[in-house]
Amino acid sequence: MPAIELEVFSLVPGHAQGSYSVILAEKNGKRKLPVMIGGYEAQAIAIELEHIKPTRPLTHDLFATLMQNFGISLLRVVITRLEEGVFYANLVCRSESGAEEVIDSRTSDAIAMAVRFKSPIFAEEAVLSEAAFKPDEEEETGAGPARMGEDDRPPAPKTWTEDLATLSTDELEAMLEDALKEEDYYKAAGIRDEINRRKK
């Protein structure tokens, strides 16, 4: 049975502290596949979806640049199986000579690479049958494919989000610069949203 194409739908905080779920939506269907990932991988996916430029390349950015510089393209990502709650994935790559290679990968890393290369993501039907769900109609209004909406973004620490509206634009710009230096991209996204709201 052929693999089913998915797209990144949203990124949401998980139940355990520091964990997140990336929600993959069936491209030509209604099923959604939640994949639990760590905070670092969530950040790597989020900055690409939010088009945030880190001050220094993150690991996934570095790896993508190395691949591109050596003529390696990422054709697709395939989530191949689910065992004891762990998803397994492959990167299907093509070298400059045209040879295809299949590389084992953690699913979170595979998704982070796919969003950088704008490569399609697939899952075997057996994986979807076991782990996917169909949301109720009222739940289907979400961030939409390939972006992280404000409602889906992990909540920023209350110590600063509650006061964003009271700060001047200059203060927000300074906070944004600090957040980028600290590589706190969730915080940076929240501050940037507040700045953008004021420009409307």
Is pLDDT at 44 greater than 80 in this prediction? yes
* Rounded Cα gap, residues 1 and 183, in angstroms: 42
CA atoms within 13 A on the CB side of 159: 2
Higher pLDDT, 6 or 2: 6
pLDDT value at residue 23? 92
**Model pTM?**
0.70
* Rounded Cα gap, residues 173 and 194, in angstroms: 10
pLDDT value at residue 185? 67
The residue count of the chain comes to 200
Phi, psi of 116 (to 5 degrees): -75, -40
Percent of the chain with pLDDT over 90: 46
Is pLDDT at 32 greater than 80 in this prediction? yes
Q: Which DSSP symbol is given to 137?
A: G
Nearest to 114 by CA among 160, 137, 145: 145
pLDDT per position as a tens digit, 150-159: 444 444 434 4
* Rounded Cα gap, residues 186 and 156, in angstroms: 7
